[in-house]
Amino acid sequence: MKLRKILVNLFVGLVFVGTLGITSQLASADTTDSSSSSAVQTKALSKPYVVYGAGLASEDKDDIATALGVKSNYESLTATGNDYATYLNSAGTTDASMISSVSLAPADPGSGVKVNIEKFNGQNNISQVTSQQYAMVATMAGVKDVIITVTADKSVSGESALTGVYKALAADGLSLNAENTQAANDVLDATQPAINSNSDDTSYPGKLMSAVGDVSAKLAKQRQSDNNLATKADIKQMLEEALADHDITSKTPSSSINNIVIALSNVQKAPVSTTKTYINNVTNVANDLKSSIGDKMASLKDFANSADAKKAQNFLQSLWQKITDFFNSLFN
């Protein structure tokens, strides 16, 4: 009897080890290098959040909540000018300037960052920053596996929306490294003029941010392999090659290329580029962005609480029970 129990436990244990490879796709987030534990998001968002801009008109709050898809289980926060200074290291922003609002929801593990820009009363009030920029910049800041929804009750550039993202993560116990968030924001600033100058090409933002992500992944690999930083000349060559691969060289002004090179150099020096998980995260998002067009990147199936995710979890539970029953039956 004892021998049978030992053998059953051994067999089940061996299968459990194999099953971990499957369940890891649905369970908690990857770990990071211990030396850079705060460099990237190290676990999944535990619940959804909504972060209203401090400058939001009170009479518009309910309509903003509707646009953001807020439900009763969303924790509510407010992004202030002080938050902007804290998370983006840029002083001088007032509460009244914090217009855009965001919601964050957990996404399926491994899905990266997906961003939807929603209209307010039929009007897209995020006038500059694109979904593709938000997605890549948040990834460079160390964010992963979240769905971000952005809107505003009046026309704004959209730059302050990232403050709400970082504040929600901090409230969830997922505080990100300030050097990462600042370097990521530099990428936002550097890519904006090029995107503005190609406003008639809906495919350009995705291609540009994909190219930028490809270069950042290469720089992180290089830093981790030999602990050396690429020169700005090297980064420029990498970027020009990536732009050519995405067929947007002629559409990208030389001044923007130079500014993006500087911004990528800053990301390379930031702690985020020392983590192996960042390479996977930024590569996956870059792949998603290369053909991304328009304001909507996420659909219902991307949410962690989607029917697909629940079905997968139920499948694993059922599979585990069948495995246990099978090995028990061998000895009955």
Q: Give the DSSP per-residue string, 74-121.
A: PEEEEE-HHHHHHHH------GGG---EEEEEEB-TT--EEEEEPPBT
Residues 47 and 154 in one domain: yes
Helices and strands in the chain, H and E counts: 11, 5
Question: Which DSSP letter does residue 1 get?
Answer: -
Give the residue from 57, 52, 142 showing the smallest Cα distance to 103: 52
**Residue 84 · residue 163 · CB < 8 Å:** yes
Task: Return the C-alpha torsion angle 284, 287, 293, 297, nearest 10.
Answer: -20
Domain that holds residue 259: 34-298
Q: How many residues does the chain have?
A: 332
45 occurs within a structural domain: yes
Q: How many domains does the chain have?
A: 2
59 & 75 share domain: yes
14 and 161, same domain (yes or no): no
Residue ranges of the chain with pLDDT lower than 70? 1-38, 300, 302-332
CA-to-CA separations, 196 to 58, 62, 128, in angstroms, rounded: 31, 31, 7
In a domain, 315, yes or no: yes
Q: Is 167 in contact with 83 (CB distance < 8 Å)?
A: yes
316 and 176 assigned to the same domain: no
Same structural domain, 115 and 19:
no
Beta bridge partners of 151: 101
**What's the whole-model pTM score?**
0.81
Indicate whether 147 and 14 sit together in one domain.
Answer: no
Same domain as 315, residue 240:
no
> How far, in Å, CA of 53 to CA of 77, rounded?
9
How many angstroms separate the CA atoms of 244 and 173, rounded?
40
Using CA atoms, how far apart are residues 99 and 159, in angstroms rounded to an integer? 10
Q: Please check whether residue 303 lies inside any domain of the structure.
A: no
What's the Cα-to-Cα distance from 105 to each of 51, 205, 287, 296, rounded to whole Å? 12, 24, 22, 15
